[in-house]
A and B are shown apart, each in its own frame.
Chain A
Amino acid sequence: MNFELSQEQQLIQDSVARFIDDKYALEARQKLVATKTGFSTDHWSTMAELGWLGLTVPESLGGFGGDQVDTMLVMEQFGKGLVLEPFVASTVLGTRAVILGATQQLKAELLPGLLDGSRQLAFAYAEEQAHFDLEDIVTHAKIDGTDFILNGHKSMVQHGASATQLVVSARTSGGQADTAGITLMLVDADSDGIKIAGFPTVDGQQAAEVTFDNVRVPKSRLLGSVDEGFDLLMQLVVDGILAVSAEAVGAMEVLYKDTVTYTQQREQFGHALSEFQVLQHRMVDMFMEYEQAKSLLYRATLEVAQSGLGALRTVHALKHFIGKIGIMIGENAVQLHGGMGVTEELRIGHYFKRLLVIDALFGNSDFHLQKFAA
């Protein structure tokens, strides 16, 4: 599974790593966290210029023509810097939804802005009552002439408040928990009847609650087919899981390596902490768990790139492990840094918080264990 990177992939990985080195020192990041949008529009433009926003857009449509493996390479590096820009929301999920579901005409309208960064998407799929079940959708859309009329409520929409358009899942027929009867559509963020309430999450990132009150959406904004959106929804969520899992693996690498370095520097009882065997073993555990997570990430990503939703079981295993291992590595990194581990000053705590949020995105560790067993 130790796959060879192509020359192009190697170039992308290197350029993302350089970007993180240059722009994402902790202090610089925390300044961005404190701003209103919570990320840098300059960085966002840089990502557009470097072609990252078109990573999985086909070459024929002006993109790089990559797949989930390319996204993984970028996200793993992003995880090392805890990148704040809406890459997952707008590019991995939003742009992907357009590529997979939009008509040629809609693609032509949207893609230029998506590739140059002037257009930003968010993915409004989660609902509070659903407890991570994707098919549990109460938000509904009724057909009225050439429009859908949308009513309902979406929660935890990553970067919802800064998006220009939202990809929304709605029920067009069937019961609350049916997989049939789900439709995806693209909704302008400034439509009449839409209310977007942004809020910060514990990891310093941005999310929103979105309420739709008789929002009119032209049928031309349909993504995929009416009533048959569940597979598309699932494909997007799978891509989202792979992306945040790669980010988590990057963050875990920082945590275990920082911990090894810190214990070599910090002395107590006349010895470096790293000389205490009980702490050595703890760090070995962290390292081994990180390796496990990385193996699952590579495996799941390759499987999805090759067989799409056929790889679902491996994806459940991956997300289960990412949640469990993320907390384990984060907790031990904090413990081994002592009091410093819980301060704002060191980066440890910030990575730990991000891992916590990643566990809660697209279904947590427990949820995916149940799905794996089912």
Chain B
Amino acid sequence: MSDMNVFRAEIRDWLEANCPPAMRTPMPVNESPGGGRRAKFNNPDTKVWLDRCADKGYTVASWPKQYGGAGFDKAQIVVWQEEMRRINARPPHVGMGISMIGPALLEFGTEEQKLEHLPQIARGNIWWCQGYSEPGAGSDLASLRTSAVDDGDDFVINGHKVWTSGANFADWMFCLVRTDPDAPKHEGISFVLFDMETPGVGVKPIKLISGLSPFCETFLDDVRTSKSNLVHELNKGWTVGKRLLQYERASIGGIGGAQKSKSLEAYAREYVGVDVEGKVSDVSLRDSVLHHRMNDKAFALTLRRASQESATGRAPGALSSLFKYYGTEQNKGKYELLLSILGTQAVGWGGDTFAENELTTTRAWLRSKANSIEGGTSEIQLNIIAKRILALPD
């Protein structure tokens, strides 16, 4: 047996022995393993699964062992993901810790910062949020005004962030602040970290049309953070911030292998019915679902090719904009189709008339409308692709 086959056998055995059966079923939203100091585990197996993976470094398998990872190389990661998918395992841990600030610290953090934060992230002990957008700085993020002023060993932060995902549950924030008001806008920004329990941090959830409040406004009023929480150099925060947006775009765009969920075809058969040959009876719906399926296939292949090329250093970083754009359009398209499949079963907002998954589909459809806005709008992604990849003029 080759080394890789031995490795695969080990992973498979470990998963068989350690992944609880309940963690091999599709994950309801309220069982998402976000972790954090105030973590609530609606299903106790979620906690078991998180801890078992964290003990082995599997929550962040590609990170070095000293930072809480398993030190897997590219090929081992592929095997790990394949074996996870084979048993339809839920991700042991999700969140901005492992998908955004973790990779940014690995790339830009000091050794002290890495040792302080990465193992905590890997264990799911700290929930992170992202202090980027402001009321006047959305697509034009670099025009942000939240200021951090040098005061001895600390920075003192004042400002107003908006669309802060999960700020009401978060333990720490990574935040873009202006440290040089006189420099050109991209050159006076720094990237700092602070604990959300610091005096002066105020959080107010924003109510959305989906009825949910996944985003907040965050008010920063004389918030102090030690200078040791500056990531990368002073006034070089845009470099970190931009890089991190690429991780974010990749994750909104759907990189990283999702669990299998009920297919559009299955929904169509159930709600619209089948003809004598067992095909979905509505011809135009059948076409739309097939068209969507083919796009999905091509997109998955593009993601895989880009991931292989980035391993060899050939893929441009700006390609994450393509993933973000295409992935979110696909996701919105999927929900449009689902809605039209569900018909009047998709217009419920409450009551016993509708099945739980019908009600959540309607809300998820509304939620999907923000996909092409958050993390940089579709228009911004197209600009990035035009300028950074095709080298078109401003």
**Does B340 touch A at the CB level, under 8 Å?**
yes
Q: A-facing mask of B125-167, CB < 8 A → 1, else 0?
A: 0000000010011111001000000000000000000110000
Q: Which of B138, B209, B339, B354 contacts A268 (CB 8 A)?
A: B138
Contact A339 B343 (CB under 8 A): no
Interface residues in B273-304 (C-beta closer than 8 Å to A): 273, 282-285
Contact B350 A200 (CB under 8 A): yes
Contact A155 B374 (CB under 8 A): no
Q: Which of B138, B140, B351, B373 contacts A200 (CB 8 A)?
A: B351
Complexed CA–CA distance, A131 and B352 (Å): 20
Complexed CA–CA distance, A341 and B367 (Å): 11
Q: Which of B345, B347, B351 contacts A356 (CB 8 A)?
A: B347
**Given A128-B345, A338-B138, A344-B209, 12 more pairs with CB closer than 8 A:** A131-B273, A197-B351, A199-B351, A209-B353, A269-B139, A269-B140, A269-B143, A335-B378, A339-B162, A341-B373, A352-B209, A370-B284
Contact B284 A356 (CB under 8 A): no
Q: Which of B207, B344, B354 contacts A343 (CB 8 A)?
A: B207
Interface residues in A104-155 (C-beta closer than 8 Å to B): 126, 128, 131-132, 155
Point out the residues of chain A lying under 8 angstroms from B353, CB to CB.
155, 197, 199, 209
Q: Which residue of chain A is the closest to B372 with respect to CB atoms? A: A335
Complexed CA–CA distance, A197 and B366 (Å): 25
Complexed CA–CA distance, A200 and B281 (Å): 30
Could you say which interface size class chain B belongs to? Answer: 35 or more
Point out the residues of chain A lying under 8 angstroms from B143, CB to CB.
268-269
Q: Which residue of chain B is the closest to A282 with respect to CB atoms? A: B379
Q: Which of B140, B163, B285, B347 contacts A202 (CB 8 A)?
A: B347
Q: B-facing mask of A323-344, CB < 8 A → 1, else 0?
A: 0000100010011001101111
Complexed CA–CA distance, A256 and B369 (Å): 17
Q: Which of B284, B348, B377 contacts A199 (CB 8 A)?
A: B348
**Does B210 touch A at the CB level, under 8 Å?**
yes
Complexed CA–CA distance, A364 and B340 (Å): 8
Point out the residues of chain B lying under 8 angstroms from A279, CB to CB.
379
Contact B362 A366 (CB under 8 A): no
Q: Which residue of chain B is the closest to A330 with respect to CB atoms? A: B369
Point out the residues of chain B lying under 8 angstroms from A357, CB to CB.
347
Contact B163 A339 (CB under 8 A): yes
Complexed CA–CA distance, A269 and B207 (Å): 27
A-B contact pairs, 12 of them (CB 8 A): A197-B352, A199-B351, A268-B137, A268-B140, A269-B139, A339-B133, A339-B373, A341-B373, A342-B366, A356-B339, A360-B347, A366-B282
**Does A201 touch B at the CB level, under 8 Å?**
yes
Contact B362 A131 (CB under 8 A): no
Q: Which of A128, A207, A278, A353 contacts B209 (CB 8 A)?
A: A353
Point out the residues of chain A lying under 8 angstroms from B369, CB to CB.
331, 334-335, 341-342, 352
B85: min CB distance to chain A, Å: 32
Q: B-facing mask of A152-186, CB < 8 A → 1, else 0?
A: 00011000000000000000000000000000000
Contact A338 B344 (CB under 8 A): no
Q: Which residue of chain A is the closest to B209 with respect to CB atoms? A: A349
Q: Which residue of chain A is the closest to B362 with respect to CB atoms? A: A202
Known A-B contacts A268-B138, A339-B373, A360-B343; the reply to A202 vs B348 at CB < 8 A is yes
**Does A369 touch B at the CB level, under 8 Å?**
yes
Could you say which interface size class chain A belongs to? Answer: 35 or more
- Max chain A CB contacts within 10 Å: which of B133, B207, B347? B347
Point out the residues of chain B lying under 8 angstroms from A356, CB to CB.
339, 347
Interface residues in A223-282 (C-beta closer than 8 Å to B): 267-270, 276, 278-279
Q: Which of A155, A198, A200, A341 contacts B344 (CB 8 A)?
A: A155
Point out the residues of chain A lying under 8 angstroms from B354, CB to CB.
199
Q: Which of B137, B208, B272, B339 contacts A342 (CB 8 A)?
A: B208
**Does B315 touch A at the CB level, under 8 Å?**
no
Q: Which residue of chain A is the closest to B138 with respect to CB atoms? A: A338
Contact A364 B343 (CB under 8 A): yes
Point out the residues of chain B lying under 8 angstroms from A202, CB to CB.
346-349, 362, 366
Q: Which of A199, A338, A364 contacts B139 (CB 8 A)?
A: A338
A201: min CB distance to chain B, Å: 5
A284: min CB distance to chain B, Å: 15
Q: Which of B207, B340, B344 contacts A126 (CB 8 A)?
A: B344
Complexed CA–CA distance, A366 and B139 (Å): 35
Point out the residues of chain B lying under 8 angstroms from A268, CB to CB.
137-140, 143
Known A-B contacts A197-B353, A199-B350; the reply to A344 vs B208 at CB < 8 A is yes
**Does B82 touch A at the CB level, under 8 Å?**
no
Point out the residues of chain A lying under 8 angstroms from B108, CB to CB.
none
What 4 A-B pairs have minimum CB-CB distances, sorted nearest first? A199-B351, A349-B209, A268-B140, A200-B349
Q: B-facing mask of A351-368, CB < 8 A → 1, else 0?
A: 011001100110011100
Contact A366 B377 (CB under 8 A): no
Interface residues in B95-141 (C-beta closer than 8 Å to A): 133, 136-140
Known A-B contacts A202-B362, A360-B344; the reply to A342 vs B349 at CB < 8 A is no
Point out the residues of chain A lying under 8 angstroms from B346, CB to CB.
202, 360
Q: Which residue of chain B is the closest to A279 with respect to CB atoms? A: B379
Point out the residues of chain A lying under 8 angstroms from B137, CB to CB.
268
Q: Which residue of chain A is the closest to B285 with respect to CB atoms? A: A366
Q: A-facing mask of B324-368, CB < 8 A → 1, else 0?
A: 000000001000100110011111111111100000001000100
**Does B389 touch A at the CB level, under 8 Å?**
no
Q: Which of A201, A203, A335, A339 contacts B215 (CB 8 A)?
A: A339
**Does A350 touch B at the CB level, under 8 Å?**
yes
**Does B206 touch A at the CB level, under 8 Å?**
yes
Contact B138 A156 (CB under 8 A): no
Interface residues in A194-223 (C-beta closer than 8 Å to B): 197-204, 207, 209
- Max chain B CB contacts within 10 Å: which of A204, A209, A342, A366? A342
**Does A291 touch B at the CB level, under 8 Å?**
no
Point out the residues of chain A lying under 8 angstroms from B332, CB to CB.
331
**Does B370 touch A at the CB level, under 8 Å?**
yes
Complexed CA–CA distance, A343 and B285 (Å): 31
Interface residues in B170-208 (C-beta closer than 8 Å to A): 206-208
